[in-house]
């Protein structure tokens, strides 16, 4: 088991598979590095070094009371990258993890970074505002925080429905996958789970994403009920210079599981390009 201790004393768990050019994965809310097992296995088998970590407060990392903001998340990544001395790394972020890797790039620079991949990401701006009318209303996030505080296990179990799109005809998500997802989510700190809702909904990455200079791939399902594509992926693709957008028809939020083979193949092709 890999573990580093950050400058504020938080322990960050990571897994490190394979050898070759490194690919660093940042997971979604409220999950852990385990959500990446299909992509990590695929890339490690094809000659790459796959590294994934549990965000502070989640999975096997420690559960500090505070630090659930994107500057701190980016600093945690920086310390992990430096600890492992990763060079020419491909950064991959899913959902709220997209913000982690974007903020790492804009806060710590691209000196160690080769490419960027954003999958079902909340970037560049999730919440509705006067200058972002297509965003999600703040009441939705208030309801999420209240639901977690009231009955976290049931809320997260219900959340799986839109996360995986099991309310859509023809959904083929197994009971095992849903059980695993709930199990992973319940490992997290309730405080971190609540605080991260504020972080991923209210952080505005629009200005800094325009400064990204590394090759960028954006993957998003057009039936994402959790992070709608219009105010996120499509806007991101118009902001990041030269970004490539791949839209998966009919795909829900959890593309890394429901469309795992397609995501793995597209990741490999982009890294090799």
Provide the CA 6 distance to its chain's centre, in angstroms: 20
Q: How far apart are the C-alpha atoms of 162 and 156, rounded to whole Å?
A: 11
Q: How far apart are the C-alpha atoms of 214 and 246, rounded to whole Å?
A: 17
Residue 272: exposed, middle, or buried by beta-carbon count in 10 A (0-12, 13-18, 19+)? exposed
CA-nearest of 143, 142, 131, 55 to 99 is 55
- List active site positions: 95, 224, 253
């Amino acid at each position: 088991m890999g573990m580093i201790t950050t400058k504020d004393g938080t322990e960050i768990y990571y897994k490190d598979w394979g050898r070759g050019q490194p690919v660093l994965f940042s997971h979604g809310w409220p999950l852990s590095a385990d959500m990446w097992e299909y992509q990590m296995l695929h890339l490690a088998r094809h000659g790459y070094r796959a590294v994934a970590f549990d965000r502070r407060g989640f999975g096997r990392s420690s559960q500090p009371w505070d630090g659930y903001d994107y500057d701190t998340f980016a600093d945690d990544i920086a310390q992990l990258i430096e600890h492992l001395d990763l060079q020419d790394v491909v950064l991959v972020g899913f959902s709220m993890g997209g913000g982690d890797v974007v903020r790492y790039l804009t806060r710590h620079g691209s000196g160690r970074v080769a490419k960027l991949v954003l999958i079902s990401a909340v970037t560049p701006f999730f919440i509705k505002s006067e200058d972002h009318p297509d965003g999600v209303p703040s009441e939705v996030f208030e309801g999420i925080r209240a639901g977690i505080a009231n009955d976290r296990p049931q809320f997260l179990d219900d959340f799986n429905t839109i996360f995986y799109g099991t309310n859509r005809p023809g959904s083929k998500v197994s009971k095992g996958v849903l059980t695993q997802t709930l199990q992973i989510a319940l490992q997290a700190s309730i405080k971190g789970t609540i605080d991260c809702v504020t972080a991923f909904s209210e952080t505005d990455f629009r200005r800094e994403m325009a400064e990204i200079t590394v090759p960028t791939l954006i993957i998003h399902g057009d039936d994402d009920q959790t992070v709608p594509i219009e105010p996120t992926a499509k806007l991101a693709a118009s902001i990041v210079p030269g970004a490539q957008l791949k839209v998966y028809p009919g795909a829900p939020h959890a593309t890394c599981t429901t469309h795992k083979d397609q995501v793995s193949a597209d990741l490999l092709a982009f890294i090799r390009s």
